[in-house]
Amino acid sequence: MSIGIHDISAATGSLVFPLADLADHQGIDVGKYHRGIGQTEMSLTTEDEDIVTMAARAVAPIIERHGTDGIRTIVFATESGVDQSKSAGVFLHGVLGLPNNVRVVELKEACYSATAALQFALGIVARRPGERVLVIASDVARYELESSGEATQGAAAVAMLVSEDPSVLEIEPVSGLWTDDVMDFWRPNDRSTALVDGRYSVQVYLEALEGAWNDYREGGGADYSTISRVCYHQPFTRMAAKAQQRLDRIATDGSAPEVDRLDGTTQYNARIGNSYTASIYLAFLSLLDNGPDLAGERIGFFSYGSGAVGEFFAGTLVSGYKEQLRAGHLDGMLEERRLIGYEDYRLRHIAFDRVGDFATADESTGDVRFAGVTEHKRLYERR
């Protein structure tokens, strides 16, 4: 029995802020962003968007195509949760109107936890093959204004339906794992923006990649020569290039790579920015939508979450997977984003930290909106 990703869909915020405008305000060459970190735009959320509304927008095409029968588990991965106790997945369950006989949980470990969610889903389906699991990765990445991480901000959600006999990706059982207790990136409870030691985080990311790859191979993982592409967590797209260079060195005798294993994997992330848990699976969706037909080819995945956890695993693309895709769906969403200027961007960044009761402006484009807070309770509405 094969188990894996049966369907995949994504969503992003309704606003876009070009990094050319940020560079202009800062008085620097935009090449620092376009070439230096490989980013051109950042997706931002409106007042009435958050990780739940983006998740709902990502899930909608999957529910429309497959219905809800057999979905008895929702695993919601995020590091920008909306409540310290209640899972964002429970809010999502409510706005989607799903049946009560569903287990729902939220997972957290920086940008890594969607991969844990995916692995948990594989185990659930292996135990009860008739069940399907909805895996959600949804985040809003925020840093302080004028900080080194500001240009990498972004927002997106990816939804994946995991089942037996998948139509997109059959996931192989071997995983390479690596964990170390470090402080390269973190967000204390009293902050809405993250703290990061950028250079140290790059160093730890590459150490995690090497450790996870070595564990993968020692556990019986596939030979590097059989891996056609690799999807990486992309805090910025140039990080994927750094990682691929490191993997080429440690997995070969130092010879030049015979293929560009990043080809097709960075288009969406460059236009959206960092989306934390969703980032690696946006890379995968970018490959599916923008790459050639790779049916039967093995795809590698390196998932990283600061703090720090890394995992390397692989899967094989199913014959006919291109027919399952929604051509132009995410591209259309990116083109529909509303352009905002620098002053609007700053005001929205500051307003994000509102406390107490408030209502939000109706300005998003999805079917579900965050309506505000009343008596400390988050309210969501369907249009």
Q: What is the pLDDT of residues 152-201, one digit of tens each?
A: 999 999 999 999 999 999 999 999 999 999 999 989 998 988 888 989 99
Q: For 249-301, write each residue's pLDDT tens digit.
A: 999 876 666 789 999 999 999 999 999 999 999 999 999 999 999 999 999 99
C-alpha to C-alpha distance for 163 and 134, rounded to whole angstroms: 9
269, 234 contact by CB (below 8 A): yes
Q: Where are the domains of the chain?
A: 3-167+324-382, 170-320
Mean pLDDT of 235-249: 97
Q: Output the six-digit token pair for 16.
A: 């876009």
Q: pLDDT grade, residue 323 (50/70/90)? A: very high
Q: Residue 192 has what pLDDT?
A: 87
> Of 285, 299, 304, whose CA–CA distance to 239 is shortest?
304
Asked if the domains at 3-167+324-382 and 170-320 fall in one CATH topology, the answer is: yes
Active site residue 233: yes
Overall fold of domain 3-167+324-382: Peroxisomal Thiolase; Chain A, domain 1 (3.40.47)
Q: Residue 309 has what pLDDT?
A: 98
- Assign domain 170-320 one CATH number from 3.40.50.300, 3.40.47.10, 3.40.190.10, 3.30.390.50: 3.40.47.10
> Burial, 335: exposed, middle or buried (Cβ in 10 Å; 0-12, 13-18, 19+)?
exposed
Q: For 106-117, write each residue's pLDDT tens digit.
A: 999 999 999 999
DSSP 111: B
Q: Residue 368 has what pLDDT?
A: 96
In degrees rounded to 5, what are phi and psi of residue 208? -65, -40
Q: Residue 190 has what pLDDT?
A: 86
Mean pLDDT of 103-127: 98
Query: Which residue among the candidates 6, 93, 233, 349 is catalytic per the annotation?
Result: 233
Q: Residue 355 has what pLDDT?
A: 87
Mean pLDDT of 307-321: 98
Q: Residue 351 has what pLDDT?
A: 87
In degrees rounded to 5, what are phi and psi of residue 262? -95, -10
Q: Residue 259 has what pLDDT?
A: 80
Q: Residue 195 has what pLDDT?
A: 87
Query: Which residue among the candidates 79, 106, 109, 210 is catalytic per the annotation?
Result: 79
C-alpha to C-alpha distance for 363 and 52, rounded to whole angstroms: 16
Flag whether pLDDT at 209 surpasses 90.
yes
Q: Residue 253 has what pLDDT?
A: 73
Percentage of the chain lying above the pLDDT 90 cut: 92
> Burial, 360: exposed, middle or buried (Cβ in 10 Å; 0-12, 13-18, 19+)?
buried
Regarding predicted confidence, which is higher, 236 or 189?
236
C-alpha to C-alpha distance for 354 and 372, rounded to whole angstroms: 10
> Of 285, 299, 198, 272, whose CA–CA distance to 239 is shortest?
198
C-alpha to C-alpha distance for 154 and 164, rounded to whole angstroms: 33
Mean pLDDT of 213-224: 98
Radius of gyration of the chain (CA): 20
Q: Are strands 358-359 and 3-12 parallel, antiparallel or unpaired?
A: unpaired
> Of 9, 74, 241, 269, whose CA–CA distance to 155 is shortest?
269
Instruction: List Cα–Cα distances, 157 to 61, 135, 154, in angstroms.
Output: 13, 11, 11
Q: Residue 56: is the preceding peptide bond cis (ω within 30°)?
A: no
3-state secondary structure of 58: helix
Q: How high is the mean pLDDT of the chain?
A: 96
Active site residue 79: yes
Query: Which residue among the candidates 6, 41, 109, 111 is catalytic per the annotation?
Result: 111
C-alpha to C-alpha distance for 357 and 268, rounded to whole angstroms: 35
Active site residue 111: yes
Q: pLDDT grade, residue 346 (50/70/90)? A: very high
Regarding predicted confidence, which is higher, 141 or 196?
141
pTM attached to this predicted model? 0.97
Q: Residue 254 has what pLDDT?
A: 67
DSSP 151: G
> Of 86, 85, 81, 84, whose CA–CA distance to 55 is shortest?
81
Instruction: List Cα–Cα distances, 115 to 10, 24, 264, 353, 371, in angstroms.
Output: 16, 37, 20, 29, 30
